[in-house]
Amino acid sequence: MNQIKKTELNEPQQKLIELMQQINFGRISNIPVVGGNPELTADTIIEREIKLGGQNGNRPELAKDDFTLKQEVLALIEHLTRMGDGIIRHLEIKHGLPFLIRIEERAA
């Protein structure tokens, strides 16, 4: 994949990346996807994993205006684009990066 920077993405994609960086470790549930873009709504649930005695808090990239996106983020954006419309039931996050997604689809 090509090197893509955060500022090359649209606003909904950037907001999702920033939220993942804020969470660092955890999960986001119930993310509607419309036209390949994530929409954070009042029904979207954020779960944070807090490691007692460990380092918690935002990823250092959150303080940067722009940076090159990692492969995991590019794979997530590509999947959302191909998905079009649907719901991400769970997006697991490790080290501020997408690790696993569970999507809901309807049979034809």
pLDDT digits (tens, 9 = 90+) for 68-100: 899 999 999 999 999 999 999 999 999 999 999
CB neighbours of residue 35 within 10 Å = 11
Helix orientation angle between 71-83 and 11-23, rounded to the nearest 10 degrees: 130
Domain-wise residue ranges, the chain: 6-104
Question: What is the H or E stretch that residue 20 is in?
Answer: helix 11-23
Whether the pLDDT of residue 108 is over 90: the answer is: no
* pLDDT at residue number 66: 86
Which segments within the chain are labelled E, that is strand? Answer: 26-34, 37-38, 45-48, 86-94, 97-104
At 25, give phi and psi (nearest 5°).
-130, 125
User: What is the chain's mean pLDDT, rounded?
Assistant: 90
The C-alpha angle 49, 50, 55, rounded to 5 degrees, equals: 120
